[in-house]
């Protein structure tokens, strides 16, 4: 029988987080169609404004686009937008809907009966979600570029990857904030749906943030996905960083990375305790 309790080591916590990630991978492996969908949807999503642009501007589409954005490669510009949107959208759905879904199926109480903290579980879920999103987004971006016959690897690919990778952590932290909100109000679909569209609009999914009205632009800059998208576009397509130099933009993302997770865990723990104080985690 289990003897006296000693707190988990870092290795044990990491092992628990990886078990959570593995559980999700095993689960999604039983729904392979979902992964195929995640590769196709961003291409279709980007194709709509792309074809509209071609229909309205004809052979001048590239030149017109360059005049306003700094790159003639509108195909890659739109594909980056739609893929970052898919990554952000997945983060929201995986994190916030995870809580709601587990609450409804009864497994949330099961995992709360174990000594693994919600921070560890959120880490495991983020690992799973990030790996899944990065793989599907990369495949989707490359496939989209090939379909529309543009070079997917122009510009500084490594820097673009760095912007995406650093931006992912604050994105998952913001997603955890929404998880807390979902736990509180016990409503997921409408909240997550609304949030993903608001963020997609603010991050400039199909347009540069510069075209937004000034007040909206400032609000947009408060969201990490805006910096991720612009960082990746600037690194690959040279559309221009917000602060002119890449390292200042990267610095802002690092500031998000340091602050947002701490704030999110603080809020999540408060909500978690509030829920436990009232009807409990399983009440849906």
Partner 1 sequence: MQGEVRIDKLVKTYETRQRKGLIKSEMKLVEALKGVSLSIRPGEVFGLLGPNGAGKTTLIKCLTTLLLPTSGEAWINGYRLTKDDNAIRATVGCMLMGERGLYWKLTARENLEFFGALYHLSPRARRTRADGIIERLSLGDIADRTVETYSSGQKMKLAFAKALINDAPLLILDEPTNTLDLPSARELRAVVRELNRDGKTVIYTTHIMAEAETMCDRVAIIDRGEVLALGTVPELKASLGREEVTRIEGVISAGANEAVGRLAGVSHTALTAVNGHTQLTVVSADQRALLPRLIEALVAHNALVQKIAPEEVTLEDVFIARTGRTLAEDTAVK
Site track 5-34 with partner 1 (rule: CB under 8 A), x = hit: x-xx---xx-xx-xxx-xx--xx--x----
Which of 75, 181 has the CB closer to partner 1?
A: 181
Site track 257-276 with partner 1 (rule: CB under 8 A), x = hit: ----------------x--x
Q: Provide the minimum distance between the beta carbon of 109 and partner 1 in the complex, in angstroms, as a whole number.
A: 6
Maximum pairwise Cα distance, the chain: 75
Q: Provide the minimum distance between the beta carbon of 245 and partner 1 in the complex, in angstroms, as a whole number.
A: 44
Q: Provide the minimum distance between the beta carbon of 12 and partner 1 in the complex, in angstroms, as a whole number.
A: 4
Phi, psi of 88 (to 5 degrees): -65, -45
Q: Provide the minimum distance between the beta carbon of 169 and partner 1 in the complex, in angstroms, as a whole number.
A: 23
Specify the DSSP class assigned to residue 278.
T
Q: Provide the minimum distance between the beta carbon of 250 and partner 1 in the complex, in angstroms, as a whole number.
A: 35
User: Using the rule CB under 8 A, is 280 a contact of partner 1?
Assistant: yes
CB 275 within 8 A of CB 183: yes
User: Using the rule CB under 8 A, is 57 a contact of partner 1?
Assistant: no
Rg (CA), the chain: 20
CB 252 within 8 A of CB 260: no
User: Using the rule CB under 8 A, is 278 a contact of partner 1?
Assistant: yes
- How far is Cα 58 from Cα 125, in angstroms, rounded to an integer? 45
Q: Provide the minimum distance between the beta carbon of 38 and partner 1 in the complex, in angstroms, as a whole number.
A: 18
What six digits make up the tokens of 137? 């987004």
- How far is Cα 144 from Cα 49, in angstroms, rounded to an integer? 14
User: Using the rule CB under 8 A, is 215 a contact of partner 1?
Assistant: no
| Residue the block writes with tokens 């917000």 | 242
Residue 221 makes CB contacts below 8 A (sequence gap 6+) with: 209, 227, 242
Which of 24, 233 has the CB closer to partner 1?
A: 24
Could you tell me the end-to-end alpha-carbon distance of the chain, in angstroms, rounded to an integer?
34
Beta carbons within 10 angstroms of residue 62's beta carbon:
16
How many residues contact partner 1, by CB under 8 A?
37
What residues numbered 85-124 form the site for partner 1, per CB under 8 A? 105-107, 109-117
Which residues are near partner 1 by CB under 8 A?
Answer: 1-2, 5, 7-8, 12-13, 15-16, 18-20, 22-23, 26-27, 30, 105-107, 109-117, 273, 276-282
């Amino acid at each position: 029988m289990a003897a006296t309790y000693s707190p988990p080591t870092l290795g044990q916590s990491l092992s628990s987080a990886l078990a959570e990630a593995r559980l999700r991978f095993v689960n999604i492996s039983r729904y392979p169609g979902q992964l195929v969908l995640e590769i196709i949807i961003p291409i279709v999503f980007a194709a709509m404004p792309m074809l509209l642009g071609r229909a309205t501007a004809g052979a001048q589409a590239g030149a017109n686009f360059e005049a306003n954005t700094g790159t003639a490669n509108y195909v890659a510009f739109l594909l980056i937008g739609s893929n970052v949107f898919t990554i952000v959208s997945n983060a929201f759905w995986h994190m916030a809907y995870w809580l709601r879904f587990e609450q409804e199926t009864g497994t949330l109480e099961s995992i709360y009966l174990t000594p693994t903290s919600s921070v560890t579980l959120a880490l495991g879920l983020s690992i799973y979600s990030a790996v899944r999103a990065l793989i599907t987004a990369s495949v989707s971006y490359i496939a989209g570029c090939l379909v529309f016959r543009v070079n997917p690897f122009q510009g500084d690919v490594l820097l673009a990857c760095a912007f995406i990778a650093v931006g992912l952590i604050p994105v998952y932290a913001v997603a955890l904030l929404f998880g807390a909100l979902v736990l509180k109000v016990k409503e997921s679909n409408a909240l997550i749906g609304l949030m993903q569209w608001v963020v997609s609009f603010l991050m400039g999914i199909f347009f540069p943030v510069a075209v937004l009205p000034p007040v909206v632009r400032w609000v947009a800059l408060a969201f990490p996905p805006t910096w991720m998208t612009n960082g990746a576009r600037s690194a690959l397509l040279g559309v221009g960083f917000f602060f002119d130099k890449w390292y200042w933009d990267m610095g802002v993302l690092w500031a998000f990375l340091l602050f947002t997770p701490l704030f999110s865990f603080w809020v999540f723990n408060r909500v978690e305790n509030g829920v436990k104080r009232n009807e409990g985690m399983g009440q849906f």
